[in-house]
């Protein structure tokens, strides 16, 4: 549906920048909810620490896309960073939703990011939206993040918790970090390589975001992952092939733990084999369902 007015948090991030451009391209008007005091007449201020939104500057919005959160892969997890990761998800989301619910005319729909990390480390289990969340720091963070949307649901908004897998695009996120070693032929599987990765191209994610924002029935958790998850070994081989480089230098688990600490097990070695049941049932078609062609396409010169 063209012509919606959509507010976005985290609009300066890897996904947020692309989503802003994509939604504008599709004919929507996008308002950035920003944490710094904006110049009058431009972006709109919100404070994740209190939930306060400048409601006058915001005016009426039809939908909110909530992407903000402290970057999970931005460095070793110090106690302070873990607290920021936590506070910027569950509590900040709850405060945002309470503020949205209190607007004179609340939006009709909230699409709030979440992550496949909610499942914890699940080996070869096949997971979908009906699977129970798992355990561990990221699973707890994601559970609180999703629960934080409650005030919006209670106020009658249609709420979608979009469980993102690893978002693939050379412009940012995990792929941009992986490219330098792989281009040098220094890439390889992480640990055993048997852990499953649920992934989605940024372009497909943007189509998913438009799909769930449009009027429809979808609500609750929705997995935003391609229908064909891969093991880390399969991903590594596909990336090597797409770059025409060998990728045979495995990184042992102990080295990952030395380099990344706790983040190694939670982010790099955890296994999540997810199937986007809700999207497939709703008739969403992925342009890039398979990793080989997806990476070839993303990395074609």
Ligand X SMILES: NC(=O)c1ccc[n+]([C@@H]2O[C@H](COP(=O)([O-])OP(=O)(O)OC[C@H]3O[C@@H](n4cnc5c(N)ncnc54)[C@H](OP(=O)(O)O)[C@@H]3O)[C@@H](O)[C@H]2O)c1
Q: Does position 72 bind ligand X by CB under 6 A?
A: yes
Among 173, 187, 229, 240, binds ligand X (CB under 6 A): 173
Binding to ligand X in span 7-26, by CB under 6 A: 10-16
Tokens 């431009």, located at residue? 42
To ligand X, the closest distance from the beta carbon of 87 in angstroms equals 7
Could you say whether residue 223 binds ligand X (CB under 6 A)?
no
Q: Can residue 115 be called a binding residue for ligand X (CB under 6 A)?
A: yes
Pick 164 or 251: Cβ nearer ligand X: 164
Q: Does 68 bind ligand X (CB under 6 A)?
A: yes
Of 80 and 300, which has the nearer Cβ to ligand X? 80
Kindly tell me which residue out of 5, 38, 45, 70 binds ligand X, with binding defined by CB under 6 A: 70
Choose the stretch contacting ligand X; rule: CB under 6 A; options: 65-73, 152-160, 243-251, 271-279: 65-73
Q: End-to-end CA distance of the chain, in Å?
A: 34
Q: How many CB atoms lie within 10 A of CB 216?
A: 13
Q: Identify which of residues 133 and 185 has a Cβ nearer to ligand X in the complex.
A: 133
- Closest contact distance (angstroms) between CB of 82 and ligand X is 12
Nearer to ligand X, 29 or 258 (CB): 29
- The residue from 24, 25, 37, 71 that contacts ligand X (CB under 6 A) is 71
Q: With contact defined as beta carbons under 8 Å apart, do 13 and 70 qualify?
A: no
Residue 276's Cβ-side half-sphere holds a number of Cα atoms within 13 Å equal to: 29
Phi and psi, residue 141, nearest 5°: -60, -45
Q: Does 35 bind ligand X (CB under 6 A)?
A: yes
Phi then psi dihedrals of residue 188, to 5 deg: -175, 170
Rounded distance, CA 42 to CA 40, Å? 6
Between 40 and 283, name the residue whose CB sits nearer to ligand X.
Answer: 40
| Number of H-type helices and E-type strands within the chain | 13, 13
What is the SS3 assignment for 274? strand
Number of shown-chain residues binding ligand X (CB under 6 A)? 26
- Residue 88 CA to residue 164 CA, distance in Å, equals 17
List beta partners, residue 1. Answer: none
Contact 176, 184 (CB under 8 A): no
Binding site for ligand X (CB under 6 A): 10-16, 34-35, 48, 67-72, 84, 88, 92, 113, 115, 164, 166-167, 173-174
């Amino acid at each position: 549906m063209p012509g919606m007015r959509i507010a976005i948090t985290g609009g300066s991030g890897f996904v947020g920048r692309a989503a802003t451009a994509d939604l504008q391209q599709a004919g929507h008007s996008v308002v950035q909810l920003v944490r710094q005091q904006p110049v009058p007449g431009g972006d709109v201020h919100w404070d994740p620490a209190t939930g306060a939104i400048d409601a006058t500057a915001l005016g009426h919005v039809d939908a909110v896309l909530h992407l903000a959160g402290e970057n999970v892969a931005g460095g070793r997890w110090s106690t302070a960073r873990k607290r920021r990761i936590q506070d910027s998800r569950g509590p900040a989301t709850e405060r945002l939703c309470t503020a949205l619910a209190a607007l004179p005319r609340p939006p009709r729909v909230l699409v709030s990011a979440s992550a496949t990390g909610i499942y914890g480390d699940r080996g070869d289990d096949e997971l979908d939206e009906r699977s129970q969340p798992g355990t561990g720091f990221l699973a707890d963070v994601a559970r609180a993040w999703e629960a934080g949307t409650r005030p919006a649901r209670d106020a009658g908004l249609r709420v979608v918790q979009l469980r993102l897998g690893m978002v693939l695009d050379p412009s940012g996120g995990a792929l941009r970090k992986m490219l330098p070693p792989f281009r040098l032929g220094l890439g390889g599987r992480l640990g055993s390589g048997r852990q499953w990765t649920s992934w989605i191209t940024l372009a497909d994610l943007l189509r998913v975001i438009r799909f769930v924002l449009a009027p429809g029935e979808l609500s609750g958790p929705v997995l935003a992952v391609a229908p064909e998850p891969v093991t880390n070994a399969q991903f590594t081989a596909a990336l090597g092939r797409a770059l025409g480089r060998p990728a045979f230098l495995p990184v042992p688990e102990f080295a990952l733990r030395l380099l990344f600490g706790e983040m190694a097990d939670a982010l790099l070695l955890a296994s999540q084999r997810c199937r986007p049941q809700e999207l497939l049932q709703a008739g969403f078609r992925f342009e890039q369902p398979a990793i080989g062609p997806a990476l070839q396409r993303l990395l074609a010169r």
